[in-house]
Amino acid sequence: MKTTSIKIDHHVYFDETYYDLKSFEKLFEQYNIKNVVFSPPCTKFREPEKSSWMYYIQRKLLMNYFGNFFCALISKSFYNDKEELRNFWKIFSNKQSLIKIINPDNKLLFSKIQNYENFKMWYWINPKVDNISDVSNEIEKFSKKIYGIKFHQYWHSFKTEDLNEYIKLADCKNLPVYIILTYTNKKEILKIIKNYINVKFIFGYGGFPMFNSIWNDININKNCYIDLASNHIDKEIIKKIVKLVDTKRILFASDCPYNFKNKENDFDYNLFLSGFSKIDDISKNQIISNDLK
């Protein structure tokens, strides 16, 4: 069954433990996804499916100040010094291990998609281990496939100030910036947004984990966008985002191939789109037709 045509899925993980390139192509054709922006994978091995009720609890907590503060505290206990999920938290991921990738493999992703016209990539930067010279050289080398640059502050635990030299590079090369936040000082984020007014910033996962504390700021600052990717948000959060943020600056992104599995254990875009059930058709059609570029 095909969905309504989706112009572009702005965030898909190229995780070959789920699908190889041909299988991804088949999936996108099945659901009428016209263009895709891939990210390198985030875990060394197949990422385990996390507990749905834990997602539910987290969403509820993050929507208020004290719950957000509590989530920030316990998040510090998730991983050991080898960036592996601690044994206690494996209870909520089917008792499976999860090991973060610290150096995202942009080179491998480029080599896989370079001959596919409808595939682009986020060049994923970890400021804690990358250096600006190497990043600049690779971006130049991979330029025909790079849609923009990506940061995952929650995953790589870097300081907001570490972004500056890379945002300058994005500004120079006219590239958008995709960022997944962490429990950070909002003033630091807003300072960067205002210092680089010509850079388009996309806040992934509905602005997770800051959520409603930053939605109005995203709407006010015209160089800011937001997506609705991942299981960190649900239909209630999507409804609230649509009320506060201009739908022309809400981008379609799925976080495929994670979560939203059908009976065949395949990613199902129709299940993902069920999260749009509490918004009107005009808003939905605007979102699925938006293209940052």
Question: Looking at residue 212, what DSSP letter applies?
Answer: G
For the chain, counts of helices (H) and of strands (E): 12, 8
Residue 200 is encoded by which pair of tokens?
Answer: 């388009």
Per residue in 136-174, pLDDT (tens digit) is: 999 999 999 999 999 999 999 999 999 999 999 999 999
- 268 pLDDT exceeds 80? yes
CATH architecture of the domain covering 6-42+103-289: Alpha-Beta Barrel (3.20)
Q: What is the DSSP secondary-structure string of 9-78? A: EEEEE--TTT--HHHHHHHHHHTTEEEEEEE--SBSSPPPPPPHHHHHHHHHHHTSHHHHHHHHHHHTTS
Per residue in 23-76, pLDDT (tens digit) is: 999 999 999 999 999 999 998 877 767 778 788 989 999 999 898 998 888 888
Looking at the chain, the whole-number percentage of residues with pLDDT higher than 70 is: 96
Instruction: Specify the pTM.
Output: 0.93
Taking the C-alpha atoms of residue 59 and residue 68, their distance in angstroms, rounded to an integer, is 9
Q: Residue ranges per domain, the chain?
A: 6-42+103-289, 48-100
Q: Name the H helices within 245-291.
A: 269-273, 281-289
Give me the count of residues in the chain. Answer: 293
* CA-based torsion, 6, 12, 16, 17: positive or negative: negative
- 115 pLDDT exceeds 60? yes
